[in-house]
Amino acid sequence: MSAGRVTERYTHTYRALTNPLRRKLLAYLLVERAGSPKELSEIFGEAFKRVYPNIKALEAGGLIELTETDSRMGGTIHVYGPTDLAARFAGLLADELKGRA
C-alpha cells in the first residue's frame, strides 16, 4: 500500500472516531455483538437514515466490516462487526464502553 493510500485510510479512521454517534456504535459493536444498521438504529433510538451513513463511515475507516449477510423477507440484512483495528482504539472509547460494559 502506498503512503498516500495509508494516509487516506487513517484520515477516514480519524474522521470516523471524531463523531459521537459513531463512537457509540463502535463501542456497542466491540462490547456487545455484531449488528445490522436497522438493529443499531433501534438500540440507540436513532433513525435508520442517520445510523446507516455512520456505519458506512466506520466501514470506510477500517473500524468495522461486513461479517454476515442474511436474506429475509425478500431483502438482504447486512451485519457488521469490529475489525482488529477497532480493538486498538478501545482505549479512546473508554466513556462509551463504560456505558455498555
pTM for the full predicted model: 0.82
Q: For the segment 19-40, what is each residue's pLDDT rounded down to a tens digit?
A: 999 999 999 999 899 999 999 9
Contact 81, 11 (CB under 8 A): no
Q: Is the pLDDT confidence value at 81 over 70?
A: yes
Angle formed by the axes of helices 20-31 and 3-17, nearest 10°: 90
Domains annotated on the chain, with CATH: 3-100 (1.10.10.10)
Contact 77, 36 (CB under 8 A): yes
Average model confidence (pLDDT) for the chain?
86
